[in-house]
Structures are given as C-alpha cells and as structure tokens.
C-alpha cells in the first residue's frame, strides 16, 4: 500500500517467490525475487543486477512518461498499458533488441521497450484476457 513517504508496503508475501504489493500510484503488482532486487537497486541509484526478473501487473497501470519515470505528471512521451508482464534486469538487455524502442510508443498493445536506453529499461508485454471455452461443439 502507498505510504506517506511514497514507498510501498507489502500486503502479503507469498511462498512462491513473488511479492505482491500496491505501488505508489495505487496499482497492484507482483515481483519475483530478481525483480525486487532490480527495483531496490534502481531506487538506490545503483546499476541493476545482472539477472532476469519477472513482474506482472494484471490490473494495468496508470501511465507514465516513457522517457523518465520521475516525469509522471508532465505527460511527455506518455504511455499507459493495460494488463501486462515485464521482463526486467541487466541480464534482460540482450533480449530487448528486437522490440520497438521508440520513446513515443506507437502501439501499447504489442511488446515494447519501456525507458529505452535508461538503466531501468525493460520489456513490456501486454496480455489480453480471452474468454476460455471448454468442451466440444459437436
């Protein structure tokens, strides 16, 4: 949950390696251990660890600048994504190369690089809910 100082409070730590919390902007997310290390390094202005982390935000986000995460209220290079997962961490940089790196995201319903060229760059992968059907239509 958002705290007065802007930090997040863990609502419940899981036993599956993920920690879920409500971020500063009020959106829920779940991070694996490597993603938590990535987040902590960036908050401390340190280089991200050379690991791959996984984050999911299945409720979407409230939007941000794709140029600088501190520019939340300027709406420059603004991108808002619905439900998505993220691949983060220093070791993930090589896998980012085939994906769009435009600061102005042309299609946020397709995978793209968030914060291209910045230490916190990561792969955004939108997910779409689909109606699941079972059984036979015979």
The predicted structure's pLDDT at residue 31: 93
End-to-end CA distance of the chain: 49
Q: Which two tokens stand for residue 101?
A: 């790196």
* Closest C-alpha to 34, from 17, 21, 20, 22: 17
Name the pTM for this structure: 0.77
The domain spans of the chain are 10-126
The tens-digit pLDDT sequence of the chain (138 residues) is: 445 665 666 666 668 889 888 887 788 889 999 999 998 998 888 999 999 999 998 887 777 766 665 555 555 676 778 899 999 999 998 899 999 988 888 888 889 998 888 888 999 999 975 555 555 554
Alpha-carbon span 30 to 65, nearest angstrom: 21
Torsion sign across C-alpha atoms 113, 117, 118, 119: positive
């Amino acid at each position: 949950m958002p705290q007065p100082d802007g930090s997040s409070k863990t609502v419940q730590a899981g036993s599956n390696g993920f920690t879920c919390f409500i971020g500063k902007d009020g959106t829920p997310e779940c991070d694996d251990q490597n993603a938590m290390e990535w987040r902590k390094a960036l908050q401390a202005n340190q280089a991200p660890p050379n690991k791959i982390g996984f984050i999911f935000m299945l409720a979407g986000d409230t939007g941000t600048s794709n140029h600088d995460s501190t520019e939340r209220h300027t709406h420059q290079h603004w991108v808002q994504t619905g439900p998505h997962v993220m691949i983060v961490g220093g070791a993930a940089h090589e896998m980012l190369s085939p994906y769009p790196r435009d600061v102005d995201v042309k299609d946020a319903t397709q995978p793209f690089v968030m914060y291209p060229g910045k230490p916190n760059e990561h792969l955004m992968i939108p997910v779409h809910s689909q109606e699941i059907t079972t059984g036979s239509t015979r």
